[in-house]
Amino acid sequence: MNEYVYGIDIGGTNIKLGLFTLPGMQIIAVKEIETPRQNQETSIFERIGSVISEMNQENEIDFKQVKGVGAAVPCPVKNGHVDKCPNLKWNKLDIIFAFNKVLPDHVRVAVSNDATLAAYGENQVLEKPFKNAVFYTLGTGVGGGIIINGEILEGATGLGGEIGHMRVFDEATETCGCGSQGCLEQICGTSGIINYAKELSLSSTSSIDFKNISVKSVFDAAKAGDKVGLQVINRVAEYIAISASIIAVILDPDVFIIGGGVSKAGSFLVDLISHHYQNHARFSSYKIPFLLATTGNDAGIIGAAYLIRKQI
Ligand SMILES: [Zn+2]
């Protein structure tokens, strides 16, 4: 009898579910649904439970063959407990207990932070996973995941890997979502990128269409040699490099992996980060390479599936 696990990535807008074979971890089906808006402490789990039943039927799988469910959540999580999740209306929630209520008793559940699981997934699909890796997720915000000795770093309170909230600059006038100022996310997150491009355009001409501006259009302009675009991407790359140079003297990882939507800028961005990193790295940490993530939007479901496979 074939066996399976589900990897689920719960986001504020969408929930993605992936069905994986055991032990080979082949993805055999993926489904994306909208995140329920009301009563999220119960509705999200009920909806996931019914979509899993649907996917089982569609793939002619009996629930007995499903050994576990791994879930990625968009907030700090410790031992399956969430204190507060700003992207979802969750307060003091035991995620594993909430899943147990909608799944048969034999199904094991594991949960961790989404960026952390993206790091784990990205690393696990490599032919030879790194022992120590630091993963940047560059999107609307800047997330991170840290793998130490092959294990996910959750930390004492679940905050491990929140590298977007490292204080890297002093001239901040705006307050970050975390309540502090000068965070990496304020420069390298979507609004930081767009606002800086707009600011530069006041004193420079640019080919960017500011009425329909997006991170992609800024980066495309940079690739085409636009001065404003280049200045923006250069600042993003330099601050990621500065933050990485700080992480390097603390963790000395084998690798930095760059993922998330912004990383679609590709090797252009990674090469620039590496270039700046050489100027900021101390001691032997200049040798640590930067790689571009390869799993794209599936990193979360893959990491969640690998997490539960490990615990079965
Ligand atoms: Zn912050």
Each residue's pLDDT tens digit, 47-95: 999 999 999 999 999 999 999 999 999 999 999 999 988 889 899 999 9
Q: How far is the CA of 175 from the centre of ligand 1 (A)?
A: 8
Residue 177 clears pLDDT 90, i.e. is over it? no
Phi first, then psi: give them for residue 26, nearest 5 degrees. Answer: -80, 135
Beta bridge partners of 7: 18, 70
How confident is the model at residue 286, as a pLDDT? Answer: 97
Q: Which residues contact 75 (CB under 8 A, 6 or more apart)?
A: 82, 84, 85, 86, 87, 88, 90, 113
- Quick one: average pLDDT of 135-141? 91
Task: Place 282 in a pLDDT band, splitting at 50, 70 and 90.
Answer: very high
Residue 265 clears pLDDT 90, i.e. is over it? no
Cα first-last separation, the chain: 16
C-alpha 173/C-alpha 41 separation (Å) is 36
Q: How far is the CA of 174 from the centre of ligand 1 (A)?
A: 10
E-strand ranges in the chain read 3-10, 14-22, 27-34, 66-73, 81-85, 90-94, 108-113, 133-138, 142-148, 151-152, 255-259, 290-292
Q: How far is the CA of 166 from the centre of ligand 1 (A)?
A: 7
C-alpha 154/C-alpha 80 separation (Å) is 11
Percent above pLDDT 90 for the chain = 89
Q: How far is the CA of 24 from the centre of ligand 1 (A)?
A: 39
Contact (Cβ atoms closer than 8 angstroms) between residue 5 and residue 305: yes
Is the pTM of the predicted complex or chain greater than 0.95? no
Q: How far is the CA of 179 from the centre of ligand 1 (A)?
A: 6
Residue 173 clears pLDDT 90, i.e. is over it? no
CB atoms within 10 A of CB 59: 12
E-strand ranges in 74-212 read 81-85, 90-94, 108-113, 133-138, 142-148, 151-152
Q: What residues have their beta carbon closer than 5 A to ion ligand 1?
A: 165, 176, 178, 180, 183
Task: Place 297 in a pLDDT band, splitting at 50, 70 and 90.
Answer: confident
